[in-house]
Amino acid sequence: MTGDVSHMRTALTRAGRTIRPSPTAPPIRQVLSDRRSLGTSTRARAQSPLTTLRHYAVTSPGKLILILVVLAVSCVATGLYASTTLEDRTQTLRLMIDRTEPLAEASQVLYSSLSIADASANSAFISGGLESPELRTRYADALATASSSLIIAAGSSEEIEKTTSAAAAREIDSDLNTLAISIPVYSGLVEVARTNNRLGNPVGSAYLGEASTMMQEEILPAAQRLYQRRSMAIADPQSALTRPPWGVYIALLALIVGLVATSRYLVKRTRRRFNVGVLSALIAVVVGTVWLLISGLMSVAATNNARVDGAAPLRELTSARILTQQARSAETLSLVRRGDQEDQDRTFTDTTAAIERLIDRVEQERGDSSVVTDAQLYNANYVLDRWREVDAQVRQEMAAGDFARARTMTVGDGRNTTAQAYRDLDRALVDSITTTRLAFRDDINTAQRVLGFTGAGILGLTLFAAAAVVIGLIPRIREYR
């Protein structure tokens, strides 16, 4: 009986089942040790999400999820970057055409009007007695235009203030204050000089000399500095806008490379020729790149035309007109200050030589699409030469002591007078300035229009690409479940 019981104990009985150890099975202790090691490893992975993520990332579905996230984020980030960059360019162009260029134009008109007013006052004074209605009207109109231009030139905006340094802003304010204070004082001195001239008092020439000195040494230099700073506010952004947005191009090309690499990876892993989502995203990004390539190049070309055929000749022609007013003031002052003819004659000679150099520079540096014609430049040079010839005759009359004849040839209404030659040159320069300014504004408007919707368009295409990538890769990830 005992032997039977002992034989029965050699079998393991549990829940009605008899389990006999296999002769090839590992020992019970080894099995329990393996189970404990497996449990410890499982608990360690559960306690470290980073370890679990790293373990999952090397699997096929993990790689696909990682590719999906990277591509979707890259599409959205590229779209936002492109939209922001292109919108900044569009805003710069819009600010240039709406605010910066009108401020520069007002500053130029301010300077020219002040010079015209000074030359007209001198001409009215040397005409003797009661000045002609034409000279009086010319002086009054020039002073009124200068006052209104000063109000416009003093305008600003938050966008312009952001791009202006604190030192430059202080200098602009200082020049504006000088102009606002000095112009009324100048006009008062001119009125006193005019009154004494009508009464035949010799002191009138002293008042006019003081007024002209204030104009030449205080008012016009302040107006010229203001114009130069307003002009630089146009030139600086133009230099940046003539360069293509390379950062946006690089981002879009990198995104295209990423989508192509993803498509090739899916072909190898899934044995499918193409993925509809990734292919749609690739087409959308390529369309956006081509769109940017066309609109960006057109915008850069238009901006470059505005700089070469607009801003550059406009600056030269404006300087020539400013010098024209200075030459006229020097010419008339030589009759007012008869004892100071040598200095005034030298000023006239140097100024007219500078005008000739500026006109020649415009002719040499203009592009093929320049709106300044040969006829306009020839006319300006022709009337400038005629002005010099008549002025030389005036100097001969003054040297001979015939100041009456010299005065008639300087402020008279005849064809062979320096007044007529001066008006013809000023008219020729104004005509060229107007043509060039219109061409500049047209080019900037073109650059703004062709670039206006590109940023929003690329953002929409990249968002579509992000959604297409998600829709295209999710079914491939689910295949591994």
CA separation for the pair 463, 258 (Å, rounded): 16
Instruction: Tell me whether strands 17-19 and 12-14 are parallel, antiparallel or unpaired.
Output: antiparallel
The confidence score (pLDDT) of residue 284 equals 94
pTM: 0.72
**Tokens 């600086």 correspond to what residue?**
236
- pLDDT for 25 beyond 70: no
The confidence score (pLDDT) of residue 467 equals 93
- pLDDT for 344 beyond 60: yes
CB of 149 closer than 8 Å to CB of 113: yes
Could you tell me which of 456, 59, 68 has the C-alpha nearest to residue 258?
68
- pLDDT for 310 beyond 60: yes
Mean pLDDT over the full length of the chain: 80
CB of 97 closer than 8 Å to CB of 445: yes
**Tokens 């002009």 correspond to what residue?**
231
Band of pLDDT at residue 11, cut at 50, 70 and 90: very low
- pLDDT for 105 beyond 80: yes
The confidence score (pLDDT) of residue 121 equals 81
- pLDDT for 37 beyond 50: yes
Question: Tens of pLDDT along 53-104?
Answer: 555 555 777 788 888 899 999 999 999 999 999 988 888 888 888 888 888 8
What does R_g of the chain's alpha carbons equal in angstroms?
Answer: 41
The confidence score (pLDDT) of residue 135 equals 75
HSE (side-chain half, CA atoms, 13 Å) at 436 = 28
The confidence score (pLDDT) of residue 15 equals 45
Band of pLDDT at residue 369, cut at 50, 70 and 90: low
- The predicted model gives 135-139 an average pLDDT of 82
The confidence score (pLDDT) of residue 6 equals 47
Question: Tens of pLDDT along 178-209?
Answer: 899 999 999 898 888 888 877 777 777 778 87
CA separation for the pair 139, 105 (Å, rounded): 20
- pLDDT for 162 beyond 60: no
Question: Tens of pLDDT along 246-277?
Answer: 899 999 999 999 999 988 888 887 776 778 88
Band of pLDDT at residue 364, cut at 50, 70 and 90: confident
Distances (CA, A) of 329 to 119, 124, 298: 5, 12, 45
Helices (H) and strands (E) in the chain, counts: 18, 2
The confidence score (pLDDT) of residue 326 equals 82
The confidence score (pLDDT) of residue 129 equals 58
Percent pLDDT > 90 in the chain is 15
Tokens representing 26? 């590992």
Least confident among 96-110, 232-246, 274-288, 294-308: 232-246
- The predicted model gives 10-19 an average pLDDT of 47
The confidence score (pLDDT) of residue 460 equals 93
The confidence score (pLDDT) of residue 82 equals 92
Q: In sequence order, which residues have a C-beta less than 8 Å from that of residue 303 and are 6 or more positions away?
A: 93, 238, 241, 242, 443, 444, 447
| Residue 150, φ and ψ in degrees, nearest 5 | -65, -40
Residue 19 in 3-state DSSP? strand
- pLDDT for 453 beyond 80: yes
The confidence score (pLDDT) of residue 9 equals 46
Looking at per-residue confidence, does 429 or 242 come out higher?
A: 429
Q: In sequence order, which residues have a C-beta less than 8 Å from that of residue 388 and are 6 or more positions away?
A: 352
Looking at per-residue confidence, does 157 or 96 come out higher?
A: 96
Domain boundaries, the chain: 67-478
CB of 253 closer than 8 Å to CB of 289: yes
- The predicted model gives 467-476 an average pLDDT of 88
The confidence score (pLDDT) of residue 78 equals 94
- pLDDT for 145 beyond 60: yes
Question: Tens of pLDDT along 374-423?
Answer: 888 888 889 999 989 888 888 888 777 777 787 778 777 777 888 888 88
